[in-house]
Amino acid sequence: MEHGAKVVMCAIGQKDVEKAKKELEKYGEIFAKVADVRDDKEVKKFVNEVLSLYGKIDVLINNAGIIWGGDFSKQSYSSISNLIDSNLKGVLFVTRAVINHMLSRKSGVIINMSSEAGEYGIEGMVTYCATKFGVRGFSEALDEEVSGRGIRVYSICPGAVDTDLQFEFSGKRGGIPPERVAELIVKIAATFPKSKKCFEL
């Protein structure tokens, strides 16, 4: 926003949307609305509303996600489905809703949040790792598919980031400051690096 961008965001909870909007609107224009990335109809409706309002989408950042830890043999089927729907299908759904618009303009940057858990397996985070490996694979494959048509796709693979989600999972504060992740996203979106497709933090 400090670089002149108009920021658009969605989240599944009204409180999260209101909190983010309140924190960000002091920096510039923001459009925030409740939408569930697990629901393709909600995603398409949200994207169409954004396009109607602003006319274009230059940068897409897929950052929605949840986490579950524990013995995989004890994880419920509903929990497995929820992680896959939120962390992986959500990325695919939102990207699918935006990609044709970017292709028609022959321009766009897509940045997907993976994790160090998308680079190697971690005990107690089996399903989470599966979703984050999936995000990396999706990002690399899609970049191969669209890079010659004016679009670049990247993934970011940080370690633990000092967020509320991390605190709820581990019970501890610490990790990479969220600002460092945000700074990397801005840098990628602004410079369109060619050689590197997955960024570690």
Residues whose CB is less than 8 angstroms from the CB of residue 131 and which lie 6 or more positions away in sequence, other chains included: 65, 83, 84, 86, 87, 88
Residue with tokens 């509903």: 78
Q: Which of 103, 118, 110 minimizes the C-alpha distance to 188? A: 110
CB 34, CB 13: distance < 8 Å: yes
CA 118, CA 5: separation in Å to the nearest integer? Answer: 29
Q: Out of 27, 77, 120, 128, which one is annotated catalytic?
A: 128
**Total length of the chain:** 201
Annotated active-site residue 128? The verdict is yes
Please list the active-site residues. 128
